[in-house]
Structure 1
Amino acid sequence: MRIIYALTLLLSLSLSAPDADADTLTFGVVPQQSAKRLAQLWTPIFNYLSEKTGETIRFSTAHDIPTFEKRLLAGEYDIAYMNPYHYTVFHQVPGYQALAKQKDKRIQGIVVVRKDSPLTELAELNGQTLAFPSPAAFAASIVPRAQMGLEGIHITPKYVSSHDSVYLGVSRGFFVAGGGVMRTFNNIAPEVKAQLRVLWRTPTYTPHAIAVHPRINAETVAKLRNALLAMNDDPEGRALLKAINFQGIETAQDSDWDDVRALKIKLLDDLLQ
């Protein structure tokens, strides 16, 4: 049943998804920021990896996170950069396997407010409408909302499609607060960041996964892993990683995300039925 559903999704998405040559590896990046911004940041990395591996690696994303989730389920991306919760889900179906992750990094969610906001505590958000990237954005949405629920803080979530949209909406006063993560907060336009401050931080978890679809052969996987790790020792590679606020790359294995599995999040369970 899961296989049939995934095939159905793949067919339904083929009209809206970019075409790719059979010899091209499509690398999907979770749309935490605008497609234009992500392309600016990641395309140079994919050009670098293409040169080092001899494979053609093409940037791809989706217009919002729910669409990205559907494309992961359909196995549309050969390689994908996905949030920790997404990895635990899409490792099950269609079977994405962790390849690498950001080195010496733990992901941390944040709740931001305008710099001139009088708010100083999470409890003061009770009764307010908050901006979030999507229901299943792990550190930017799932963890903050769960914590507020535990503390009896009742908020109305408004999903605005990306981390950048959250930050922009809060900076412009459309929302009193919103959820994000430190990496994207540090990567937004300086004029937007200057108008914001962090009100609250979540606990830390294993960060986003770089994972490969099971159809990718072992030889190609090995070339990708070696090229990613080699970036750590190459000045050009380090500069490219710095542009996305990575201090480095390290190998990853499936069990690295057991801390996320321990949270027993069920949000996307229906997607796998």
Structure 2
Amino acid sequence: MHNMHGIMKLAGHCTFVLLVLLFLGSADAQEARPLRLGIQPVLPPQQTVRAWQPLADYLGKATGQSVQIVPSRNFFTFWERLKKGDQFDLVLTGAHLTDFLVQRMDYRPLARIPGQVSYTLVTGQDTLIFDPNELVGKRIASLGSPSLGALRVAELFPNPMRQPTIVEVPDSESAVKAVQEGRAVAAIIPTPLVQQYPDLNTVTTTTPVPHIALSASPEVPEAQFEKMRQALLQASATEPGRQMLERINMPGFVPAGAETYEGYSRLLQGVWGY
């Protein structure tokens, strides 16, 4: 009986030690796993990776943990991944999706690009349209929903019986090309892009919203969160940071909180899965 008690006690100790080792191993594995960075797909996947790799490398050096960009083919795929809540450790996206991540998935904004973003509805040089309603039944080139451009088009045409035909394109430059080639009468594109195409006519410009933000999932440890936040906010003051900003063609990062984006997820009302 005494021997049996000793065996059971030893087995209990072994089980406890095994559980501790498994826990530590799991923690080490999570720490070693790259942080997955999701980015709104305004560019094709390969171009997205090329455009933002300097940011991923910069954050990797700041945290000592590699950052891997996980591109999405289109906004539908991106949206489906966001709704799962466990596909990305970091997300760089627009105001409406940033607010969604904060409100529904407990993400926290790290920092944002300064300034605001608006979209402009444009037509070709030979098409003079002064009211969006003139585009009912006509083709408008746009990134897919729930991109900010697509949602702004939906706002311009609230009557379900009076809608344009959306020609989905992979990026804003393709939207302009669709107009130039006659595959669409109009396109919705980021306002800064308009000045690059002097042959386009402006129909209307949407209300601006805060620029894109980088947010972290609740699974990111506080120490890593703070390292990334400080690295982003101090980027313009250091040589590696300035090199990164130059390569991603951005002026810098400024502080961002949940309140910066509060309310913008309302733009997602009516979107499948919201």
Check whether TM > 0.5: yes
Give the TM-score, by structure 1 length: 0.78
Q: Is the 8 A contact 1:97 1:213 kept in 2?
A: yes
Aligned to 2:50: 40
Aligned to 1:158: 167
Runs of at least 5 residues in structure 1 that lack an aligned partner in the other structure? 1-19
Unaligned 5+ segments in structure 2 are 1-29
Alignment partner, residue 93 of structure 2:
82
Counterpart CA distance in 2 for 1:22 and 1:54 is 10
The percentage of aligned residue pairs carrying the same residue is 20
Hey, what's the Cα distance between the residues in 2 that align with 1:234 and 1:186?
Answer: 32
Distance in structure 1 (CA, Å) of the matches to 2:194 and 2:218: 33
Q: Distance in 1 between matches of 2:240 and 2:63?
A: 15
Partner Cα separation in structure 2 for residue 164 and residue 203 of structure 1: 21
Conserved 8 A contact 2:54-2:247: no
CA distance in 1 between partners of 2:128 and 2:152 (Å): 24
Cα offset for 1:39?
1.6
Shift of 1:67: 0.5
Distance, in Å, in 2 between the alignment partners of 1:239 and 1:34 is 24
Question: Given the superposition, is the C-alpha separation of residues 128 and 68 from structure 1 closer, same or farther in structure 2, using an over 3 Å criterion?
Answer: same
One of 253, 258, 267 as aligned partner of 1:254 = 258
Question: 1:121, CA displacement in angstroms?
Answer: 4.2
Following TM superposition, by how much is the alpha carbon of 1:264 offset from its aligned partner in structure 2, in angstroms?
6.1
Pairing 1:91–2:102 present = yes
Q: Which residue matches 2:9?
A: none
- Does 2:273 correspond to 1:271? yes
Deviation track 1:99-133 (CA, whole Å, cap 9, x = no partner) reads: 11112x11111112234433344343233121221
Distance across 1 between alignment mates of 2:273 and 2:137: 30
Deviation at 1:35, TM superposition (A): 1.5
Give the alignment's TM-score, normalised by structure 2: 0.77
Greater helix content = 2
For residue 240 of structure 1, what is the aligned residue in structure 2?
Answer: 244
Q: Distance in 2 between matches of 1:56 and 1:197?
A: 44
Shift of 1:158: 3.0
Which deviates further from its counterpart, 197-206 or 115-124? 115-124
Structure 1 counterpart of 2:112, from 92, 95, 101: 101
* Number of corresponding residues: 243
